[in-house]
Amino acid sequence: MTDSVPVRCPACRREQSFTPPTFPCSCGAPLTLPVLRDGSLEKIEHRTWQDLWVAVNCPSCGRQGHWPQPEFGCGCGAVVRVPVVPAPDPSDRRTAATGGGPAVLRPAFRPVTIRTAKDAVTAAAQYLKWLGFRSLRQREDRAASGVDLYGSGVVAQVDPTTRPTGLRDIECLWLNGLHESAVSVFFSLAGYAREARARADALHIPLFIMDLTGTPQPVNDPAEVLIRRGPPDG
């Protein structure tokens, strides 16, 4: 059970109890936002897109994710932003995926904010370039081919819908990868159906999930290996 913390409304100065929200990390562990005790609370006068998210490292897997900024509505009518313990700035270090085998060192990934389906494809393309794939282009006949992106040794599909990606999409991408003799990589905003995840694992297809900040997170072992080692010919 998540412990509540005392907070004081900056508008009416009344102290009350606040329970930090908990979200599921892509590793499967629950992540409770670490509210900064004795931090300076701020009354929200207006919101910006950047203000809606905070960067927090998962205590179980160490991955950094972006989560909704915690806030509460006071009885006096004020809406208050609750500060959290800041995550380390990834630009201050070089990152490497953990795990056995040689790891590829690369600069911190710079995400692309997702507001439209096109943004999701752009974010996936940027991530594939970050992984080491080259000459990436978008397919104009996506509906016919089932592929959004292709490049040197890779084909990728991006599912920007609000429903979990299904089995048929995984198998279609796999067939495209076989035809092109390329690695097949899938990105989804809503996650994957159980049978789709199982088939991807069996076919060794890297699966990633993206949030609206455009930061992909691996959800299976092939994705972890791809992050750690980069492209097969890299």
pLDDT of residue 100: 47
d(CA 126, CA 30): 28
Compute CA distances 185 → 171, 172, 182, whole Å.
Answer: 12, 12, 9
pTM beyond cutoff 0.85: no
pLDDT of residue 99: 43
Report which DSSP code applies to 27: T
Question: Is the Cβ–Cβ distance between 227 and 131 less than 8 Å?
Answer: yes
Residues in the chain: 234
First to last CA, the chain: 45
d(CA 133, CA 51): 32
- Which one, of 36, 20, 33, lies nearest residue 65 by Cα? 33
Helix, coil or strand: residue 177: helix
Amino acid at position 190, single letter: A
Question: pLDDT 10s per residue in the chain (234 long)?
Answer: 567 888 888 899 988 888 888 887 766 778 888 887 766 788 888 766 666 777 788 777 777 777 788 888 888 989 988 888 866 544 443 444 444 455 667 788 888 899 999 999 999 999 999 999 988 998 776 655 678 999 989 999 999 988 899 999 999 999 999 888 899 999 999 899 999 999 999 899 999 999 888 889 999 989 998 998 888 765
Question: Is the Cβ–Cβ distance between 18 and 35 less than 8 Å?
Answer: yes
d(CA 218, CA 109): 14
pLDDT of residue 1: 54
Question: Is the Cβ–Cβ distance between 47 and 56 less than 8 Å?
Answer: no
pLDDT of residue 145: 64
pLDDT of residue 155: 95
